[in-house]
A and B are shown apart, each in its own frame.
Chain A
């Protein structure tokens, strides 16, 4: 069965510092995808970054990078040079292949607060 674990309910970080949000996952399927979403106080879900299980390199999108350690089944999100606007809930998610089992499962989230 799929499982996503985020062990940090909340984090406080000083503006301009880098921050790492932890995510571990459990799956027996060799083909899967990992996602990170941001949910600000407005409630919308914003897609940030994707990592495929067969990708050789860690994904990067601007200030976001994904530290993918396949053997440890971890997919931590790294935000460089944090900004006040980064304050939000962050969710790690996973989808397994094949298409017949395509639901996306989310972790419980981490609330990130950036201090000025």
Chain B
């Protein structure tokens, strides 16, 4: 596609339910990143993928959070037993290669609200 696509754009869920957030990166991009942005705050790194593997999962807040990437393309971020503090915008980004001189292209984000 033309850009990074995330779905759904908005998700309201009840506390304790599981949610899945999807990211379709730009075709051919090998690196994929997930970030979380709480209201008025900066971007908190969650996890990044190089191909299907995740060299750095250090940002995942707890074991309720997991992510996978299949076929070197689509990625899913899963949050189990959601809590109110999980409410935030979840941003996905992709870049065509790793290394220091490559910017990341962002999707529009998924706004998650846990009630």
* A and B from one complex: yes
Binding site for B on A (CB under 8 A): 31-33, 35, 37, 43-45, 47, 50, 52-53, 91, 95-109
- Chain A residue nearest to B44 (CB atoms) is A106
B99 touching A105 by the CB < 8 A rule?
A: no
Nearest CB in chain A: distance from B34 CB, A = 10
Binding site for A on B (CB under 8 A): 31, 33, 35, 41-43, 45, 48, 50, 55-56, 59, 89, 91, 93, 97-106, 108-109
B100 touches A103 (CB 8 A): no
Given known A-B contacts A43-B108, A103-B48, A52 and B100 have beta carbons under 8 A apart: yes
Report the minimum CB–CB distance from A67 to chain B (whole Å): 19
List, in ascending order, chain B residues with CB within 8 A of A35's CB: 103-104
A104 to B56, CA, bound (A): 11
Task: Give the distance to chain B from A86, nearest Cβ to Cβ, in Å.
Answer: 19
Closest A-B pairs by Cβ, 3 of them? A99-B98, A33-B100, A45-B106
CB distance from A105 to the nearest CB of B (A): 6
Whether B109 contacts A105 by the Cβ 8 Å rule is no
Assuming A43-B108, A106-B42, is B102 touching A33 (CB within 8 A)?
yes
A-B pairs with beta carbons under 8 Å apart, 17 shown? A31-B100, A33-B101, A35-B104, A43-B89, A47-B104, A52-B101, A53-B100, A99-B97, A102-B48, A102-B55, A102-B56, A103-B45, A104-B33, A104-B93, A105-B45, A108-B41, A109-B41
Q: Is the CB of B42 within 8 A of A102?
A: no
Which chain B residues border A102 with CB–CB below 8 Å? 31, 48, 50, 55-56, 98-99
Select one of B55, B89, B97, B104 contacting A104, CB under 8 A. B104
Query: Which A residues lie within 8 Å of B100 (CB)?
Result: 31-33, 52-53, 95-97
User: Which residue of the partner chain A has the closest CB to B41?
Assistant: A108
Contacts of A99 in B (CB 8 A): 50, 97-99
Q: Which residue of A is nearest B105, CB measured?
A: A47
CA gap between A52 and B102 in the complex, in Å: 10
Docked pose: A87 CA to B102 CA in angstroms: 26
Of the listed residues A32, A43, A104, A108, the one surrounded by the most CB atoms of chain B closer than 10 A to its CB is A104
A61 to chain B, nearest CB (A): 11
